[in-house]
């Protein structure tokens, strides 16, 4: 596992896994309050640009979010 940038907060390891997840979720909620300041990796920007270009080339190949969610729901059965 990569070396941590920051030490684990005191008492974190004593929490149940569910409480650790809640703690992390609370941290993320605080971080995401200002999404304009969240860094976006260059690879994500390139992927979004590629997908947008493919959509512009042939919009008929696109699927609505509802279709995608339905397909994912079917796979998980």
DSSP string, 47-71: HHHHHHHHHHH-GGG---HHHHHHH
pLDDT of residue 25: 98
pLDDT over 90 at 2, yes or no: no
Q: How confident is the model over 45-73, as pLDDT tens digits?
A: 999 999 999 999 999 999 999 999 999 99
pLDDT of residue 1: 62
Q: Where are the domains of the chain?
A: 41-76
Give the phi and the psi of residue 16 in degrees, each rounded to 5. Answer: -65, 160
**How far is the C-alpha of 49 from the C-alpha of 45, rounded, in Å?**
6
Nearest to 12 by CA among 1, 23, 28: 23
**How far is the C-alpha of 42 from the C-alpha of 6, rounded, in Å?**
24
């Amino acid at each position: 596992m990569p070396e941590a940038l920051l030490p684990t907060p005191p008492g974190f390891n004593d929490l149940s896994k569910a409480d650790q997840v809640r703690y992390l979720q609370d941290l993320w909620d605080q971080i995401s309050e200002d999404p304009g300041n969240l860094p976006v990796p260059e690879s994500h920007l390139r992927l979004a640009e590629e997908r947008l270009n493919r959509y512009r080339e042939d919009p008929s190949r696109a699927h609505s979010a509802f279709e995608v969610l339905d397909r994912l729901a079917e796979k998980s059965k």
